[in-house]
């Protein structure tokens, strides 16, 4: 177990001085703390976008095409995917630009840039904002982890396949029941137009379509389900709707520096609109509340590592990296017992 001594995750650096390029964008932006998003989008437009276009042309042939395609896949789906996906997550929760630029900016990112990273237009926003944050991983949430044994790889595969086959249907039905007409209309339009677009593009260039659009779609959904599974792997079955005990925080990780403090998932569910640079201080201010609730806080490991330790049932490693705030836990054995208890399925319909 670890003590809560300090936080190394990113906060806003007020010493940063904007350059001429920054000042151009700041004329249209609401919050200067969002400039890193512009920097990331700029790099993506200078690298990912032109290479994606190049793969659809007749300039490259044979082994050279495959060499560029492999490099492109690494760049877009491994190097930039997490950065972009979690940036888009932030864009969904907070307005980045002043009116009337915000709607145009979000539309462009949603419909033009998102497909390059495997996100069907409107799908993420509709699911995440229209359902996940409303239900907070409880039974009405189509991506809920409640009904699965969360230290079982077999259960995870079942969870992933279920979402791939029924996720669209269940999300649509939820939004329809809640009379969220705008959301379910955009959700349906984005999903089907994306699929139709991929089919048409297969006739233009099959292998480029697979590399740029089709495979990233499946990969993105796998990554998102793995992330959601891990973020909501430890649930107090007596209070499954308690945000403090149905989610986790991963603090003091390199992951938080490249993915906008995404490790602070409990804080995010408590205050969805909070700017990512404010989350470490919010966590520190509420540490006593986290201790009372016996919230699960890991120090120095990220979601992928937590997922690996769960799938291999290495509870000792999880316990070694758990933060023992205010001496809440008396022993590592007590922590392991709690972790095992919180990974049990809440009910067993599956």
The pLDDT tens digits of the residues spanning 244-272 come to 999 999 999 999 999 999 999 999 999 99
For residue 9, being part of any structural domain is answered with: no
Are 58 and 191 found together in one domain?
yes
Strand duo 248-251 + 296-299: pairing: parallel
Q: Is the pLDDT of residue 312 over 80?
A: yes
Q: Final residue of a domain: which of 186, 209, 231?
A: 231
Tell me: do 250 and 215 sit in the same domain. Answer: no
The whole domain housing 289 covers 243-342
What pLDDT, on a 0 to 100 scale, did the predictor assign at position 15?
Answer: 84
Residue 350 confidence (pLDDT) above 70: no
- Asked, for residue 8, whether it belongs to a domain, the answer is no
Does residue 160 share a domain with residue 260? no
Between CA 156 and CA 340 the distance in angstroms is 16
Which pLDDT does position 5 carry in this prediction?
83
Give mean pLDDT, residues 306-327.
Answer: 97
Whether 6 is covered by a domain: the verdict is no
Sequence length of the chain is 350
Query: How far is Cα 255 from Cα 182, in angstroms, rounded to an integer?
Result: 34
The reply to whether 39 falls in a domain is yes
Average pLDDT of every residue of the chain: 96
Same domain, 218 and 276: no
Q: Using CA atoms, how far apart are residues 193 and 120, in angstroms rounded to an integer?
A: 8
Across the strands, what pairs with 264? 249
Contact (CB, 8 A) for 141 and 101? no
| Mean pLDDT of the region 11-32 | 93
Same domain, 252 and 167: no
Cα–Cα distances (Å) from 282 to 31, 199, 237, 266, 292, in that order, read 19, 46, 26, 11, 16
> How many whole angstroms from its chain centre is CA 118?
13
Greatest Cα pair distance, the chain, in angstroms, is 66
Would you say 305 and 340 are in contact if contact means Cβ atoms under 8 Å apart? no
In a domain, 5, yes or no: no
How many domains is the chain built from?
Answer: 2
Check residue 1 and give its pLDDT.
86
Query: Is the pLDDT at 348 greater than 70, yes or no?
Result: no
- Note whether 59 and 180 are same-domain residues: yes
In this predicted model, what pLDDT tens digit does every residue of 37-92 receive, in sequence order? 999 999 999 999 999 999 999 999 999 999 999 999 999 999 999 999 999 999 99
CA distance 74 to 227: 19
Beta pairing partners, 209: none
State whether 202 and 61 are in the same domain: yes
The answer to whether position 180 is within a domain reads yes
Token pair, residue 97, equals: 């630009």
Does 7 map to a domain?
Answer: no
280: Cα within 13 Å, side-chain hemisphere: 18
Residues 280, 197 share a domain: no
Same domain, 326 and 194: no
What percent of the chain has a predicted confidence (pLDDT) above 70?
Answer: 99
Q: How far is CA 145 from CA 137, 142, 173, in A?
A: 7, 9, 18
DSSP-derived letter for residue 165 is H
* Domain finish residue from 198, 231, 264: 231
- Which contiguous run of DSSP H or E holds residue 298? strand 296-299
What predicted TM-score, i.e. pTM, was given to this entire model? 0.94
Q: How confident is the model at residue 181 (pLDDT cuts 50, 70, 90)?
A: very high
Domain check: are 101 and 187 in the same one? yes
Residues 160 and 55 in one domain: yes
Q: Are 233 and 248 in contact (CB under 8 A)?
A: yes
The alpha carbon torsion through 197, 203, 205, 211 (nearest 10 deg) reads: 50
13: in domain: no
Domain end position, chosen among 211, 231, 251? 231
Check residue 349 and give its pLDDT.
Answer: 47
Whether residues 130 and 257 fall in one domain: no
């Amino acid at each position: 177990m670890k003590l809560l001594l300090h936080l190394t995750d990113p906060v806003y650096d007020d010493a940063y001085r904007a350059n001429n390029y920054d000042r151009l964008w700041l004329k249209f932006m609401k919050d200067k703390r969002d400039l890193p998003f512009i920097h990331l989008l700029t790099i993506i437009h200078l690298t990912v976008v032109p290479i994606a276009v190049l793969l659809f042309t007749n300039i490259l042939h044979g082994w050279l095409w495959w060499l560029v395609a492999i490099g492109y896949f690494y760049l877009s789906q491994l190097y930039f995917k997490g950065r972009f996906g979690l940036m888009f997550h932030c864009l969904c929760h907070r307005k980045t630009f002043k009116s009337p630029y915000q709607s145009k900016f979000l539309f462009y990112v949603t419909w033009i840039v998102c497909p390059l990273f495997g996100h069907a237009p409107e799908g993420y926003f509709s699911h995440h904002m229209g359902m996940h944050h409303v239900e907070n991983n409880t039974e009405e949430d189509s991506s809920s982890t409640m009904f699965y044994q969360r230290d079982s790889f077999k259960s995870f595969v079942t969870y992933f396949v279920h979402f791939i086959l029924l996720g669209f249907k269940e999300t649509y039905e939820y939004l329809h029941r809640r009379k969220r007409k705008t959301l379910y209309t955009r959700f349906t339009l984005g999903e089907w137009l994306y699929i139709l677009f991929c089919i048409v593009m297969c006739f233009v260039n099959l292998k480029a379509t697979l590399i740029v659009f089709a495979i990233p779609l499946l990969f993105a959904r796998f990554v998102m389900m793995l992330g959601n599974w891990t973020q909501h792997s430890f649930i107090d079955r007596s209070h499954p709707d308690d945000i403090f005990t149905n989610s986790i925080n991963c603090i003091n990780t390199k992951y938080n520096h490249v993915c906008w403090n995404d490790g602070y998932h409990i804080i995010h569910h408590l205050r969805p609109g909070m700017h990512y640079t404010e989350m470490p201080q919010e966590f520190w201010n509420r540490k006593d509340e986290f201790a009372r609730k016996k919230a699960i806080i890991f120090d120095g490991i990220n979601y992928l590592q937590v997922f690996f330790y769960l799938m291999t049932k290495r509870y000792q490693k999880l316990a070694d990296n758990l933060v023992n705030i205010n001496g809440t836990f008396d022993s590592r054995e007590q922590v392991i017992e709690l972790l095992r208890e919180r990974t049990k399925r809440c009910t067993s319909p599956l």
